[in-house]
A and B are shown apart, each in its own frame.
Chain A
Amino acid sequence: MSHNQPEKTAQSGVKEFHPRVHEAINNPQIRANFRKAMDGLMDKRQAAFPSDDELQGLRDLVAAIRLRALSKLPELLEKLEENLTANGVKVHWAENGDQACQIILDICQQKNAKSVIKGKSMVSEEMELNHYLEKHGIEALESDLGEYIVQLAEETPSHIIMPAIHKNTDEISDLMHDKTGTKKSRDVEYLTAEARQQLRKRFEKADVGVSGVNFAVAETGTLCLVENEGNGRLTTTVPPVHIAVTGIEKVVENLEDVAPLLSLLTRSATGQHITTYFNMISSPRKEGELDGPEEVHLVLVDSGRSNIYQDDELLDTLRCIRCGACMNHCPVYTRIGGHAYGYTYPGPIGKILMPHLAGLDDAKDLPSASSLCGACGEVCPVRIPIPKLLVRLREESVAGDSDHNNSSVKGRGSKRSTSESLIWKGWAKMHKSGGLYRTGTGAATVFRFLMPNKIGAWTKCRTAPKLAPSTLHQQVKARGKNGGEK
């Protein structure tokens, strides 16, 4: 991930997390756009699951499907390659984003391609494919409406399924007016129709189509693509070459696995029972067929995923099906929006995934940026225990558990500081002895008048907590009943 520099993915250009948060939190437009959008998405998801029993049962089923796939990941990837190859799809393996970019560039150059049209793909964002292709003289155009808007604005997606969710209609209207000459309008249908017209022309002249993959089915060698705009179907059928790119974790065992996954994915994401399009791609155009690409490629990207796979607990990160429900329900994401995180994947999933892709030393502020409220884990369709993984990554950051000394997490211990560890050692010494603790808390209440009424960040927006005149320990003891019992 050498070229995945956070400052490039950032909207503001500031790499550090706290200044970016400051900027986002104090931007009323960002706050209002996200609050409104997330409230809407939460309502839609809730309406899509009228029966909680059904939802919980489906979550169990789908989590089990993902776990089963991950439990035989190496085997399934081989099977996927074998079956795709038999179907006439060329399979490529990339250890990291740079290699994946190079593979795609090579294919484009062999085809003398000048123009690439893209369907939505977060992995391509992760490896900054557009930037790479443009550097080599190939134009890459996003065809998903949200991605198109983000590209016009020269920004990055602020949400993994709704890339332009940080913009309201007025902002989009102004942007399209400035960049493409459309009339300013608040009519969403008009703006959408204009964008479709602009894009439609570009499909016809594209040399290569690049798409992502939602599920790669090992048993049949099928690439499944979920979308609403038809741009995915055009991307994968109109240009003579289709290149699909995906992380290695997206493989599932068989076709039966896909139905429940799809049902939970679309309802968790946007509250839709079904998307407008669901594409199943299993081969290039066969003899006698009238359409479809002449060549289909699949690029399988690792980028740190096989390292996550080594750890029995962190492995759960790879269950993710990228529905975005965790960010839709996250009180932190709702306040700061997607760009403030500074990485391709924002929100709760980003906090547990980016430390692996970028290293804990780089993504050092992400695991702590959670109140551990658990809203993400509650809605995750594949039951990723996100809060638990956040705590694990906090531990990895400070190397705070001798049980994990052999952990393979990149950047383990990079946040450990001598002063902080000393504080916790002191804390442990006081709290593992009832006597020391009682002496300490007893003294604190006696000298409570010394307690400052300003305590750092706490009192910037709150009054200081007030120590009680006597502790519960003292009050119970004073009653005499059972209180003295040890």
Chain B
Amino acid sequence: MSSIKLYPPKPEKVYFYGTCLVDMFYPDAGMAGIQLLEKQGIEVIFPQDQTCCGQPAYTSGYHDQAREVAAAQLGLFPGDYPIVLPSGSCAGMMREHYPELFAGHPEEAKAKEVAGRIYELTEFLMHVCHIKLEDKGEPIKVAMHTSCSARREMGLGEVGPALLGQLDNVELVEQARVKECCGFGGAFSVRHPEISEAMVTDKVEAIDATGANTLISSDCGCMMNITGAAEHMKKEFKGEHIASFLWRRCHES
């Protein structure tokens, strides 16, 4: 559980950490995140040597390998700027788990320092930028799935819905058992495929029952899981990362 976090004033510059899933599968969400930040008058630095936060190895138990990869990320942020990620689970890894992962190692101080500068994108837009969104899109009904990392590890359960709430033509409908996990869990989805399938199937049915035609998520792992299952189940709704959605509604419509 995160303690109460005090947010800094809006900075001149931030680092953007895209995450590997966004990099390869949802780059549009990454670009939208960068553009949303730039619209706030912030200069966005994207270190080209960024790769992966190390979470897959970490949750699989391969901590030596997670540490090797994480250590390479620690050097990417030399300036004293916030580090913004369009993913609650990767942000959770860097903010909550880096200090534990490096405890007793030479990089411990650096890991803690970096962890203290980590923000999830929607958290940053809301609490640091105090973003004001102006909806230019057509009326639409959407559902939102907040990742368990964003909700429980980062304490950001209210942020996504609050941002969507600023959009006049967007009706946010809540699916049953909104706080329940979608069943992704990284390697869990393939190590325990039947349990994961049961979970994601229930999640898809709950979202479908709302009549929403778009599922918004701030985590690409969950979105890949839910929309992959929805497509397999021939459901109508599509998925969209919250960054792309906000950008599209406010700046492209």
Interface positions of A (Cβ within 8 A of B)? 18, 21-22, 25, 31, 331-332, 335-336, 368-375, 377-378, 388, 391, 394-398, 400-403, 421, 424-425, 427-428, 430-435, 437-438, 441, 444-445, 456-468, 470-477, 482-486
Contacts and interface: CB of A to CB of B under 8 A. Distances in A.
Nearest to A391: B59
A474 B18 CA distance: 12
B197 interface: yes
Interface in B128-187: 148-149, 152-153, 179-181, 183-187
Contacts of A369: 188, 191-192, 195
B228 A465 contact: yes
Choose among B24, B54, B197, B199 the residue with the greatest number of A CB atoms under 10 Å from its CB. B24
Contacts of A465: 25, 224, 228
Contacts of A477: 48
Contacts of B183: 331, 371
Task: Please give me the 5 A-B residue pairs with the lowest Cβ-Cβ distance, nearest first.
Answer: A371-B185, A434-B49, A462-B228, A394-B61, A373-B181
A373 B44 contact: no
Contact of A432 (B18, B20, B25, B71): B71
Contacts of B114: none
Interface of B: 1, 18, 20, 22-28, 30-31, 34, 43-52, 54, 56-66, 68-69, 71-72, 76, 100, 104, 148-149, 152-153, 179-181, 183-201, 224-225, 228-229, 231-233
A485 B47 CA distance: 6
A462 B148 contact: no
A13 B5 CA distance: 50
A400 B24 contact: no
Contacts of A475: 27, 30-31
12 contacts: A25-B195, A368-B192, A373-B152, A375-B180, A377-B1, A378-B1, A395-B61, A431-B69, A456-B190, A461-B232, A465-B224, A486-B76
A401 B64 CA distance: 5
Contact of A486 (B48, B181, B184, B231): B48
B192 A427 contact: no
B48 A467 contact: no
Contacts of A482: 43-46
Contact of B48 (A331, A434, A462): A434
B180 to A, nearest CB: 5
Contacts of A394: 59-61
Contacts of B26: 468
Given A438-B48, A471-B24, A463 B232 contact: yes
Given A371-B196, A391-B58, A473-B48, A464 B228 contact: yes
A372 B49 contact: no
A287 to B, nearest CB: 53
Contacts of B193: 457-458, 460-461
B57 A427 contact: yes
Nearest to A393: B61
Contacts of A431: 20, 51-52, 54, 69, 72
A400 B51 CA distance: 21
Contacts of B189: 371, 457-458
B46 A371 contact: no
Nearest to A458: B190
A482 B191 CA distance: 40
A373 B148 contact: yes
Contacts of B180: 331, 373, 375
Nearest to A333: B195
A466 B25 contact: yes
A472 B148 contact: no
A25 B183 CA distance: 14
Contact of A462 (B51, B56, B60, B225): B225
B52 A472 contact: no
B191 A368 contact: yes
A21 B26 CA distance: 33
A425 B179 CA distance: 35
A4 to B, nearest CB: 24
A375 B152 contact: yes
Nearest to B22: A472
B142 to A, nearest CB: 21
Nearest to B184: A371
Contacts of B34: 476
A483 B181 contact: no
A460 B44 CA distance: 40
B24 A398 contact: no
Contacts of B71: 432
A391 to B, nearest CB: 6
Contacts of A485: 45-48
B64 A400 contact: yes
Choose among A377, A400, A433 the residue with the greatest number of B CB atoms under 10 Å from its CB. A400
Contact of A458 (B31, B43, B72, B228): B228
Contact of B51 (A336, A371, A432, A463): A432
A486 B229 contact: no
Contacts of A470: 27
A429 to B, nearest CB: 8
A451 B179 CA distance: 33
B173 to A, nearest CB: 20
A50 B40 CA distance: 39
A435 B22 CA distance: 18
Contacts of B194: 18, 21-22, 25
Contacts of B201: 461
Contacts of B47: 434, 485-486
A21 B199 contact: no
A352 B181 CA distance: 20
